[in-house]
Chains A and B, each alone.
Chain A
Amino acid sequence: QKEVEQDPGPLSVPEGAIVSLNCTYSNSAFQYFMWYRQYSRKGPELLMYTYSSGNKEDGRFTAQVDKSSKYISLFIRDSQPSDSATYLCAMSGSAGGTSYGKLTFGQGTILTVHP
Chain B
Amino acid sequence: GAGVSQSPRYKVAKRGQDVALRCDPISGHVSLFWYQQALGQGPEFLTYFQNEAQLDKSGLPSDRFFAERPEGSVSTLKIQRTQQEDSAVYLCASSTGVFAPEAFFGQGTRLTVV
Using a CB–CB cutoff of 8 Å, the interface residues on chain A facing chain B are 4, 6, 8, 32, 34, 36, 41-46, 49, 51, 88, 90, 92, 95, 99-108
Q: Which size bracket describes the interface of B in this complex?
A: 20 to 34
B45 at the interface (CB under 8 A from A): yes
Cβ of A45 and Cβ of B56 under 8 Å apart?
no
Within the complex, the shortest CB–CB distance from B8 to chain A, in Å, comes to: 14
Q: Which of A45, A90, A100 contacts B99 (CB 8 A)?
A: A100
Cβ of A45 and Cβ of B103 under 8 Å apart?
no
Given A100-B48, A103-B33; 10 other pairs, CB 8 A cutoff: A4-B42, A6-B42, A41-B110, A43-B107, A43-B108, A49-B101, A100-B50, A102-B56, A107-B40, A108-B40
Within the complex, the shortest CB–CB distance from B3 to chain A, in Å, comes to: 9
Given A103-B45, A108-B41, A46 contacting B99 (CB threshold 8 A):
no
